Amino acid sequence: MKLVHTPTGFTISHKNRTVFEHSEASPALYLGIGEGNFDMYRGNFDITDYVIERLPLRQFKVDSFERDGQEFHSIGFYFDGKEVIQMIVGETAESRLKAEFEAIDKSFNRFWMRVAATEEERVFGCGEQLTYLNLRGKNFPLWSSEPGVGRNKNTYVTWQADVKDKAGGDYYTTNYPQPTFVSDKKYFCHLETTAYADFDFTNPEFHELQAWDIPQYILFDAEESYPELMTNITDVFGRQPELPEWVYNGVILGIQGGTDITIEKVENAKKAGVEVAGAWCQDWQGIKMTSFGKRLQWDWQWNKDLYPGLDTKIHELKEQGVRFLGYINPYVLEDFPLYDEAQAKGYLATKEDGSKYVVDFGEFYCGVVDFTNPEACEWYKGVIKSNLIDFGLDGWMGDFGEYLPTDCSLSNGVSAEIEHNKWPYRWAKVQHEAIEEAGKTDDILFFMRAGGTGIQGYCHTLWGGDQSVDWCLDDGLASVIPAALSSGLMGNGIHHSDIGGYTTLHGMKRTKELFQRWAEMAAFTPIMRSHEGNRPGDNHQFDTDEETLTHLAKMTKIFTHLKPYIKDAVALNASQGVPVQRPLFMHYEQDDEAYEIKYQYLFGRDILVAPVYNQGETVKRLYLPKDKWVHAWTGEVFEGGWIEVDAPIGQPAVFYREASSYRDLLDGIKNA
């Protein structure tokens, strides 16, 4: 790093990139005082801030010192003649640039830092973003929440969701926000805070990073290439382990309704030629009916009434090569056994006065297991180990994590407002450790939608959350692609989504075509898993007709055919953090167009996928970066640019590199 300073300003650069530019006229740091308001309704937040003060910190003083043979700079920022905050800047042992903050005046709870930018710069990341890949030109509030239904104020579905449930969301709403971005200057920047944050990329000259707390530090590093940058990023945040071998054996069928139905549906699928890796029954612990649709009974143990004989059938299925997966989340249903036990032991979050606190999840109420209490974590790990793993589950959806209300009281004494964004991380850690302690990391698959800083090392795979069962860009099939790419850039290289989507409300019904297009995309992701949706009766399902089964069979054949290729990509993700689904620019960094393509991706190094995401489309227009690309169905070779190819149902627009070392395998896609 380099610090150059004059009496009225300083510049900090790192690996030839300017990071901070501070001058009295244009300061890099502002502190302030705000009164935030968090209005939560079933995981949807209406957040407002009354900013009482926002003070430019113009005056500064630089002191330099040595620590462990390294040069550090302590920059004191002054306001009204008094030092209010100190920033200690230096390189870490890994040569990253780190600036630690220490508040001298503790009265400030708002922080704005300007990171130097250039007008053409593009930035990516900020967790899992479903609407934008390049984030420039917008601001991104970073707060874990329900992802929103529709996510676009211009659509009927969003409007209805807003009016009825305050649930419509917007372009930035996400289960997984992270105060980290990646720049096309091939650096990443991370602000270490779990407070509400907002990264504003609208200004041509700087990125303004806001946090509702004084962050611990800001971290930067740059590399010569994007894959190297991914390794660096995952050195910081952790890496996902490899997937269990069985996951590559076919689709995980989302089924509900009991033991017999599950077995019957699996059999039917197999008969139709579908490669089945597992059955995922989220209702394994029973259901509740609400006006939203079928909801689950949140008491995390086998429900003998709905799943009679599952304790033996689960092993029979496994012998037949079909794993059984369930569901859990970090809340316990009021007045049910787990709740009562947790309540008695003091493992639940409380009101400020220590009294009972439950959260409204939509016509039922639950206690929040207090993961800031190590004993509560141990207890919940025990629940997972005995009720899920020992029972025989080979995986589960580890749902939720976004609902920590800001007005509850936690065991560690930290404000729930500060803990909120950390909750998904805590929830992932509990699950990961339970699996690890059971010695099953290689064999159990769990997937989460919620996320945050550090989840990379604990959550084994993300799923894209609750897409609408429709074609809308911001919340339908298409939205899964930027979601995979942005979260991949944060180091979550294994991503997948509910085949066919989930949210079935406000008149939406899943069509056959949508299901099929989604399955076609899923065949080119590391995991194939279907979902019936919240109102299964309104949706086209994998077994609704023979044609759908046959089509799905073909897609699972392609998926299993690609097993060696996908396994290698997953292994690379586990060892070096290079995501399985990658934005085009990761390997074509000289290609300007590649940075703006958000609805296509590279699947591993050699496959390029351009999913059809518009209803009725059978000719696909897409962009190929300069290379030699073989069209998977016709063998025709393209050299780059915007092209059109036929993409009827069953033949998704997929290409692979002529120069691929997997060439023989890839040539076999068309006959899989």
Of 16, 154, 291, 590, the residue at the interface with a second copy (CB under 8 A) is 154
Catalytic residue among 213, 394, 402, 417: 402
- Extract the tokens encoding 653: 């627009």
Q: Which among 376, 362, 374, 385 is positioned nearest to 298, based on CA atoms?
A: 362
Interface with a second copy by CB under 8 A: which range of 128-136, 152-160, 395-403, 592-600?
152-160
The two tokens of residue 480 are 């899964």
Task: Output 79 or 364, the one with its CB closest to a second copy.
Answer: 79
Distance CA 517, CA 653 (A): 11
In the complex with a second copy, the residue whose CB is nearer, 80 or 305, is: 80
Respond yes or no: is residue 402 known to be catalytic.
Answer: yes
Our CB check for a second copy shows the closer of 13 and 139 to be 139
The one among 5, 17, 23, 56 contacting a second copy by CB under 8 A = 56
Q: Cα separation of 489 and 607, whole Å?
A: 18
The catalytically annotated residue of 466, 498, 591, 606 is 466
Of 166 and 270, which has the nearer Cβ to a second copy?
166
Per CB under 8 A, does 159 bind a second copy?
yes
* 54 interacts with a second copy by CB under 8 A: yes
Contact criterion met (CB below 8 Å) for 529 and 498: yes
Does 640 bind a second copy (CB under 8 A)? Our answer is no
The only residue of 2, 65, 104, 163 in contact with a second copy, by rule CB under 8 A? 163
For residue 219, CA distances in Å to 50, 94, 97, 546 come to 28, 12, 6, 54
Q: Which is nearer to a second copy, 160 or 486 (CB)?
A: 160
The token pair at 326 is: 């369930």
Measuring CA to CA, how many Å separate 368 from each of 196, 286, 466?
20, 20, 22
Using CB under 8 A as the binding rule, whether residue 153 contacts a second copy is answered as: yes
Is residue 466 part of the annotated active site? The answer reads yes
Q: Tell me the two tokens of residue 351.
A: 């009101």
The beta-carbon contacts of 155-162 under 8 Å, at least 24 apart in sequence, are 155/472, 155/474, 156/506, 156/507, 157/468, 157/470, 157/472, 157/475, 157/505, 157/506, 157/507, 157/508, 158/475, 160/505, 160/506, 160/507, 161/505, 161/506
Strand ranges (E), 587-658: 601-603, 607-610, 619-624, 629-631, 637-638, 641-646, 653-657
Q: Taking a C-beta distance cutoff of 8 angstroms, is the pair 501, 510 a contact?
A: yes
Nearer to a second copy, 81 or 354 (CB): 81
What does the DSSP 8-state code read for residue 567? H
Contact status: 104 vs a second copy (CB under 8 A): no
Separation CA 504–CA 173 (nearest Å):
19
Q: How far is the CB of 167 from a second copy (least distance, A)?
A: 13
Nearer to a second copy, 53 or 341 (CB): 53
Q: Does 206 bind a second copy (CB under 8 A)?
A: no
Binding residues among 71-100 for a second copy as defined by CB under 8 A: 79-81
Min dist CB 33 to a second copy, Å, is 9
Whole-angstrom distance, CA of residue 197 vs CA of residue 205: 20
User: Which ranges in 562-593 belong to alpha helices (H)?
Assistant: 563-576
Find tokens 């705000």 and name the residue: 34
Among 40, 55, 247, 448, binds a second copy (CB under 8 A): 55
Q: Of residues 162, 402, 433, 532, which one binds a second copy by CB under 8 A?
A: 162
Binding mask 14-43 for a second copy (x = CB under 8 A): ----------------x-x-----------
Tell me whether residue 159 or residue 292 sits nearer to a second copy (CB atom): 159
Give yes or no for residue 621 binding a second copy (CB under 8 A). no
Helix ranges restricted to H, 199-348: 226-237, 259-271, 310-319, 337-345
Q: Of residues 39, 46, 51, 407, which one binds a second copy by CB under 8 A? A: 51
Nearer Cβ to a second copy (32/604) = 32
Helix (H, G, I), strand (E, B) or coil at 504: coil
Closest separation between CB of residue 154 and a second copy, Å? 5
What's the rounded Cα separation, in Å, for the pair 95 and 380? 39
- Residues 6+ positions from 482 with CB-CB distance below 8 Å: 129, 130, 131, 132, 133, 598, 599
Question: Cα–Cα distance between 660 and 672 in angstroms, integer?
Answer: 18
170 included as an active-site residue? no
Min separation Cβ 80 and a second copy, Å: 5
d(CA 292, CA 325): 23
Question: Which of residues 2, 46, 52, 619 is near a second copy by CB under 8 A?
Answer: 52
Q: Which is nearer to a second copy, 55 or 555 (CB)?
A: 55
| Positions marked active-site | 399, 402, 466
Which residues are near a second copy by CB under 8 A? 30, 32, 51-56, 79-81, 153-154, 156, 159, 162-163
